[in-house]
Every structure is written in C-alpha cells, then in structure tokens.
C-alpha cells in the first residue's frame, strides 16, 4: 500500500516540483493538502482528484490526526514556520518530511526532534540530493577515497533574486531566518560534509559587500566562508542572492572531481580528471519521497533524518556567529 502524503503550503516548490513528482512515486501519493487559500484548495482538488475530507486549512490542520488516508505530512512553508507545523504534525501522530533549512533557530530544531521522538514518528529533511546519482557519486569518491584522501573542497551556490519582488518571505529575516546562506548556502554545507563523510570542526566567515541594499536590509546578500575538518582539510564556500553560481568540487591526493551545475533540479553535469561523469539526470524529488516513504513504512529513520537537519543548523549558526564577529574562527560542538 502507498503512503498518503499531505503537502502543507502550496507555493512554488509544492506546485511545480513536489505535486508533479507525487504522480510518479511508487511508495507514496498525494493524498491531501493544507492551505490557507480557498481558491488553491479548489484548484488542487480538481487537478489532483483530492477528496474534500483531505483538504485542510491552517486552522483545521490538527484534525488531520483523525484522517487514516494521511501517513506523512510534508512541510513546505517559509522556514520560520517549519517548527510549528512539524510539531503539530508529530502530535497528530504523522511522520514528517520538513523542507530545508530545518528551522531558523537551534531551539526550534531541537523541539522538532523532541516532538517527533515523543510521538513515535519519523522526521526527515527534504535533502533531495542524497537520492541523486551525481551526488551519490561524490559521496562515494570522497568517503571511499577512490582517488585518495580529499585535500580541498570548493562549493558555490548563488541565484539572483534582485530582478523580482521585494515583498517575498526569503528577504524577511523573521520568516526566512537569514538570507542566501539559509536558502542556498546550506547546499554547500551539505555538499562539503558528504564529500568528507563528517562534519566540520570549525568555521570562519565574512559577509560580502551589499550591492543591492533595497533588497538586502533584513537578510544577507552574500557570505563567504571556510569549513575546517578534523584533518585540516578546508572547504571554501560562497553563496549570494545577487549572482549565479552552481559548483561542488574537490581535489584529492590522486585526482579531482567537479559538479556544475551541481544543485539545480535538472541538467547536472560532472567530470573528474579521468573525464565526464556519465550518469542520468533523474527526477530526484520522486526518488527522495519514495526513499523517505519506504523508510517510514518500516518505521526506520530516513538517510536524511531530523538529526542531520540539526547538525547542519549548528554549522549555519556558527557561520553567522563568525560573520557577525567579523571573521572570528568559531568551533562547532555536536551532540548534547
Ligand atoms: P513559496 O513562497 O513559493 O511558498 C510558500 C508557501 O507558504 C506559499 O504557498 C504561501 O502561501 C505559504 N505561506 C503560509 N504562510 C505564509 C506567510 N506567513 N508568509 C509567506 N508565505 C506563507 O516558497 P517555496 O519556494 O515553495 O519554499 C517553501 C519551502 O520549501 C522553504 O522552506 C524552502 O527553503 C523550501 N524549498 C526547498 C527546495 C528544495 O530543493 N529542497 C526548493 C524550493 C524551496
């Protein structure tokens, strides 16, 4: 039997990526939606043949506890709302997939983990690239030391936001928790960690120049940072909301590799010192949700569990701490 997923928040990611992907999944399907906009409820109901009883507003959401069609709640809201809806879903005894970044504070991330544990449900983060062949190859090359030990990493993820509206939650610290780092830089943090197979011990960071102040008075435009791993390996990273870059690369003792574009949904390309990385571009949200639903069916943690989301939050918060202190080296403690 397929698990029923309810998407919470019908913005661009739910509309353009997740709902279409859920038409192709084998272990889960689009069973319901949670939306504050009645016209969206109506349109989704028709388009995806969703029964009335599986359509909720933010006010009626908690009643989802009584709905046997819904096994998984997928939170696709602005970052600062992830905690509340993850916790309410856990209390309704539903497994949860929560989009990245997991939360906007470490306290919220911990409360989300606690709520899921206390209610006996699984929590996974929407880290789609763990299910994607090019990134799985990077994990293998780095972690299995196929070309020897990794010596150096470079990761960049930037996307220009400065030709659109000023009135968007991503530019509002209250709702987004931060700027390009929370939204795009998190992919570089993840990429460096899964290249190494372990998290960094320290970071140093500096904000970039603000060239578009009308967009960036609440959240950062860009940030440059370095992640330092236990054996002295360094990852040089950068992210910006006023640029276009898309790279994950590494040098090892006996070779190198590079993905670019690395983080886009489609059109990934990769090469090593030996030549082109010949892998298919797949529908990664299909693989992601199928993988997560399959884990949940067996009541086992996903390969991208809530704990990984919290780990990454510790790195993101350390990067902000360092940048706020003008580039001071900040050590990171995990656990506890
Ligand atoms: P979006 O702005 O398109 O959608 C946000 C949705 O939240 C909208 O439907 C909006 O109506 C709703 N909402 C409810 N309360 C709101 C409020 N107070 N303010 C603003 N919106 C409110 O955003 P999106 O791009 O779909 O992103 C949603 C989440 O998904 C974010 O956490 C984002 O980081 C994540 N995301 C992940 C990926 C990925 O590749 N994994 C890609 C895109 C977005």
> From the CA of 231, how far away is ligand 1's center (Å)?
38
CATH classification of 130-282+313-331 is 3.10.330.20, yes or no? no
Q: Which single residue is written with the structure tokens 């470490």?
A: 106
pLDDT at 195: 98
* Residue 190, ligand 1, Cβ within 6 A: no
Q: Which of 235, 225, 229, 154 is nearest to 198 (CA)?
A: 229
Residue 115 pLDDT > 80? yes
Q: Is the pLDDT of residue 336 over 60?
A: no
pLDDT tens profile 123-143: 999 999 999 999 999 999 999
Dihedral in degrees, nearest 10, Cα atoms 193, 84, 265, 238? -50
Closest-CA residue to 289 (of 35, 61, 22, 16): 22
Separation of alpha carbons 294 and 300, rounded Å: 9
> Could you tell me whether strands 222-228 and 234-240 are parallel, antiparallel, or unpaired per DSSP bridges?
antiparallel
Atom of ligand 1 nearest to the CA of 12: 3
Show Cβ contacts of residue 285 under 8 Å, excluding neighbours closer than 6 positions. 17, 18, 21, 128, 265
Displacement of CA 13 from its chain's centroid (Å): 12
Instruction: Give how far the C-alpha of residue 10 lies from the chain's centroid of Cα atoms, to the nearest Å.
Output: 17
pLDDT tens track for 219-254 = 999 999 999 999 899 999 999 999 999 999 999 999
DSSP 280-307: ----HHHHHHHHHHHHHHTT---SSBHH
**Complete DSSP assignment for 208-241:** PP-S-TTT-SSS-SEEEEEEE-TTS-EEEEEEES
| Beta carbon of 84 within 6 Å of any ligand 1 atom | no
For the Cβ of 284 lying below 6 angstroms from any atom of ligand 1, the answer is no
Share of the chain above pLDDT 70, in %: 100
SS3 label, residue 257: strand
Q: Which CATH class is domain 3-126?
A: alpha beta
With a 6 A CB cut-off, is 78 part of the ligand 1 pocket? yes
Cα 175 to ligand 1 centroid, rounded to whole Å: 10
Rg (CA), the chain: 20
Q: For residue 101, is the peptide bond before it cis, meaning its omega torsion is within 30 degrees of 0? A: yes
Tell how far the Cα of 140 is from the centroid of ligand 1, in angstroms.
32
Locate the domains of the chain by residue range: 3-126, 130-282+313-331
Q: Helix H segments across 72-121?
A: 82-91, 106-118
Give the mean pLDDT of the chain.
97
Q: What is the ipTM of this complex?
A: 0.99
> Does ligand 1 have an atom closer than 6 angstroms to the CB of 77?
yes
């Amino acid at each position: 039997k397929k698990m029923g997923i309810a998407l919470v928040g019908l913005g661009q990611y739910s509309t353009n990526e997740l709902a279409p992907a859920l038409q192709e999944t084998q272990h889960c399907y689009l069973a319901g939606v949670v939306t504050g906009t009645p016209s969206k409820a109506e349109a989704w109901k028709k388009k995806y043949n969703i029964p009335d009883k599986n359509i909720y507003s933010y006010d009626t959401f908690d009643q989802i506890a009584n709905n046997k069609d819904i096994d998984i709640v997928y939170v696709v809201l602005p970052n600062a709302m992830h905690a509340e809806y993850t916790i309410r879903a856990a209390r309704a005894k539903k497994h949860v997939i929560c989009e990245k970044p997991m939360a906007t504070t470490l306290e919220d991330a911990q409360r989300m983990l606690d709520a899921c544990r206390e209610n006996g449900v699984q929590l996974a983060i929407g880290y789609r690239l763990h299910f994607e062949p090019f990134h799985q190859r990077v994990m293998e090359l780095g972690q299995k030391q196929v070309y020897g030990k990794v010596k150096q990493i470079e990761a960049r993820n930037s996307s220009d936001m400065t030709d659109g509206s000023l009135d968007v939650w991503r530019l509002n610290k209250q709702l987004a928790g931060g700027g390009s780092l929370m939204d795009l830089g998190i992919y570089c943090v993840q990429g460096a960690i899964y290249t190494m197979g372990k998290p960094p011990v320290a970071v140093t960071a500096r904000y970039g120049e603000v060239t578009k102040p009308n967009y960036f008075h609440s959240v950062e435009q860009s940030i440059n940072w370095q992640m330092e791993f236990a054996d002295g390996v360094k990852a040089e990273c950068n992210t910006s909301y006023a640029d276009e870059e898309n790279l994950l690369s590494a040098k090892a003792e006996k070779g190198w590799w590079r993905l670019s574009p690395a983080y886009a949904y489609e059109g990934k390309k990769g090469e090593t010192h030996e030549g082109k990385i010949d892998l298919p571009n797949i529908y990664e949200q299909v693989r992601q949700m199928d993988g997560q639903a399959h884990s949940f069916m067996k009541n086992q943690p996903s390969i991208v569990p809530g704990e990984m989301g919290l780990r990454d939050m510790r790195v993101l918060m350390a990067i902000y701490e360092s940048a706020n202190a003008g580039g001071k080296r900040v050590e990171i403690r995990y656990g506890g």
